[in-house]
Structure 1
Amino acid sequence: MQVVHQSRPVVPRDRLIRLPDVEGATGCKKSTIYELMKAGRFPKPVRLSARHVAWPESAVLQWVQDRIKEAQQ
């Protein structure tokens, strides 16, 4: 007997993190984060509502890893 499974595409899981978590992950304060975003050197947030934004955790963690790699070169 052969079992047939329907294949679904794998969707990577990510979560949105708010500013305090971004500060904790990067070691940067709000003003530095927004300054880096303005210069195009930090990921842009996702707008959740008129007054709330959050960052994809994967983008923030990738930014951290990129800084570590730069420091090791």
Structure 2
Amino acid sequence: MALCTPKGKPMPPGWRSTIELSEVAMNSRPSAPTELSIMRLPEVAAVCGKSRAAIYKAIRAGEFPKQVKISARSSGWVRCEIEEWVRSRMASR
């Protein structure tokens, strides 16, 4: 099954392995963050299951991790913060 972005476009090469690695990281509970990297919006949306608009709305409401500036015109999210948010959502059910 091919993975698609929230807008239905095919994912770039190598994308699937990134998502699979994120799923493995979310299922394990390391004592400290093992990977410090930046996720861009399409990956954040794919991992958390929220749309772009829902992500920004949750940030404004203080319910989702804030993005960090990468450059003057781009931003991303810290991977371990997004993974922790997913874990907290899973724990609250």
Which bracket does the TM-score occupy, shorter chain normalised?
A: 0.7 to 0.9
Which of 1 and 2 has higher RCO (CA within 8 Å, sep 6+)? 1
TM-score (norm 1): 0.78
Q: Distance in 1 between matches of 2:92 and 2:77?
A: 22
Question: 1:69 aligned to 2:87?
Answer: no
Alignment counterpart, residue 42 of structure 1, candidates 64, 74, 77 = 64
Instruction: Provide the alpha-carbon RMSD of the alignment.
Output: 1.4
TM-score (norm 2): 0.62
Task: Give 3-state SS (helix, strand or coil) of 2:72's partner.
Answer: coil
Q: Distance in 2 between matches of 1:12 and 1:64?
A: 16
Displaced runs of 4+ in structure 1, greater than 6 A? none
Structure 1 gap segments, 5+ residues each: 1-10
Counterpart of 2:51 in structure 1 is 29
Percent identical pairs in the alignment equals 33
Q: Distance in 2 between matches of 1:42 and 1:13?
A: 19
Q: Structure 1 residue 13: deviation in Å?
A: 3.4
Structure 2 gap segments, 5+ residues each: 1-32
Q: Which has the larger radius of gyration?
A: 1
Q: Distance in 2 between matches of 1:20 and 1:12?
A: 22
Q: Distance in 1 between matches of 2:66 and 2:51?
A: 15
